[in-house]
Structure 1
Amino acid sequence: MTAAFQASLLDLAEDVRPDALGGTVRRTTLCHGAWIDVRPGWMLGADALFEELVTGVPWHAERRQMYERVVDVPRLLSFYGEDQPLPHPALDAARDALDEHYGAELGERFRTAGLCLYRDGRDSVAWHGDTIGRGSFQDTMVAIVSIGAPRALLLRPRCGGGPTLRHDLGHGDLIVMGGSCQRTWEHAVPKTARPAGARISIQFRPRGVR
């Protein structure tokens, strides 16, 4: 599997690892008890990590029921459950760092990792919240590390009437959606007609959240 993207001129790290969190995270409080944290460029060596994951992960396509027909999911996927080794040591280090930073607030550890490969601007994910499981009725966190070319991640209140927020994420950026965000807000990666390189998102979640 190969995918083209333009490397960042700022990503000059010789090793692949997460940087410090601490006071570098910027939190935005949303309505209805939701919040998001953003840490640009958190994963050092993100472009090298992209190259290793795009060729080394067992990506697969899925088809899903959509109303009265079955359609192709417009991105490639790979999922690592609690007992499965992650595909790169940097992902273990990222999960450990997230546990250390958010463990007291979350009250549990991040357990799973879901990977999505957006090959170009035609790949996308529709408006949704991670509400399969406990996210539908409990506050939780979902941490997403984006590597590869930046793509827009949009967020909007599920009840409508509020602003749509946009974050262009790639090259090692981290976003964490917390509080009630999964059940009171929705997020999406829309298709784009503009030239777009490939992006991988790595979603760390606690047990029972999908």
Structure 2
Amino acid sequence: MELFDTKINLDLPNADIIYHPSFLSLERANHFFRTLGETIPWQQDQITVFGKTHPQPRLTALYADNDKTYSYSGITMNPHSFTPELQQIKKEVEQLTQNTFTTCLLNFYRDGRDSNGWHSDDEKELGTNPIIASVSLGAERFFQLRNKADKGIKSKILLQHGSLLIMKGATQHFWQHQIPKTSKKIGGRINLTFRVIK
């Protein structure tokens, strides 16, 4: 974590969300974006939504320090072993959050047409009140939140290159989040979501 890093607490009911816009320096964020983009064995799975199957609108990969699979939306992923770059980022995320993570789900949004629809990270493997630490690399994208009980209550934050967003506590019980499509001409974004698989 950089010495000049600041911390922003999102003021939302029944949520515990913290944003660090400058978690990684520009130089290190550039290095990790380039290296991970070139070396991760990205895959594109088929996803079934409302009875229709289509290619997932982004590329993914799963890494872990164990052999536990991760399942969501009908997809089951088998983990690779952490690379040195992922180990380094994981170590720094753990130092900041005071948590030990077992697993990292990576998402590669190739351009503005790639997205991730409304969902909560509430799979049973993650436990009751999971902590999700999300590192963003590459093009800035809006991260949108909406309240499950009143979908009119919304919030959004622009996730910067080298930033870290932490969701913990009861957040997943009360809130959904998404990365929407954008018509803007933008480059790729890599998102590292560290989590604990129970």
TM over 0.5: yes
Q: Deviations over 1:71-106 (max 9, x none)?
A: 1100000000223532343x3233223323333xxx
Superposition pairs of residues 145-156 of structure 1, within 5 angstroms: 145-156=135-146
State the identity %: 30
Q: Distance in 2 between matches of 1:87 and 1:55?
A: 13
Which runs of no fewer than 5 residues in structure 2 stay unpaired?
Answer: 67-79
Deviation at 1:19, TM superposition (A): 2.4
Deviation at 1:127, TM superposition (A): 0.3
* Equivalent of 1:93 in 61, 65, 88: 88
Instruction: Give 2:107's aligned residue.
Output: 116
Which runs of no fewer than 5 residues in structure 1 stay unpaired?
Answer: 1-17
Q: Distance in 1 between matches of 2:65 and 2:20?
A: 25
Deviation at 1:134, TM superposition (A): 5.0
Give yes or no for the alignment of 1:30 onto 2:12. Answer: yes
Q: Distance in 1 between matches of 2:144 and 2:46?
A: 24
Count of residue pairs the alignment pairs up: 183
Superposition pairs of residues 180-191 of structure 1, within 5 angstroms: 180-191=170-181
C-alpha contact (below 8 Å) 1:170/1:199 kept by paired residues: no
Superposition pairs of residues 107-186 of structure 1, within 5 angstroms: 109-133=100-124, 135=126, 138-186=128-176
Q: Deviations over 1:145-166 (max 9, x none)?
A: 0000101111111112553211
Amino acid of the structure 2 residue aligned with 1:186: Q
C-alpha contact (below 8 Å) 2:65/2:82 kept by paired residues: no
Q: Distance in 1 between matches of 2:155 and 2:187?
A: 22
Cα RMSD of the aligned pairs, angstroms, is 2.0
Q: Distance in 2 between matches of 1:88 and 1:154?
A: 31
Instruction: Give 2:74's aligned residue.
Output: none
* Equivalent of 2:182 in 160, 184, 192: 192
Deviation at 1:27, TM superposition (A): 1.9
Compute the TM-score of the two structures, normalised by the length of structure 2.
0.84
Deviation at 1:20, TM superposition (A): 4.7
Instruction: Give 1:41's aligned residue.
Output: 22
Q: Distance in 2 between matches of 1:131 and 1:36?
A: 16
SS at match of 2:31: helix
Compute the TM-score of the two structures, normalised by the length of structure 1.
0.79
Q: Distance in 1 between matches of 2:90 and 2:168?
A: 16
SS at match of 2:186: coil
C-alpha contact (below 8 Å) 1:62/1:73 kept by paired residues: yes
Q: Distance in 2 between matches of 1:175 and 1:117?
A: 17
Q: Which moved more, 1:52-61 or 1:76-85?
A: 76-85
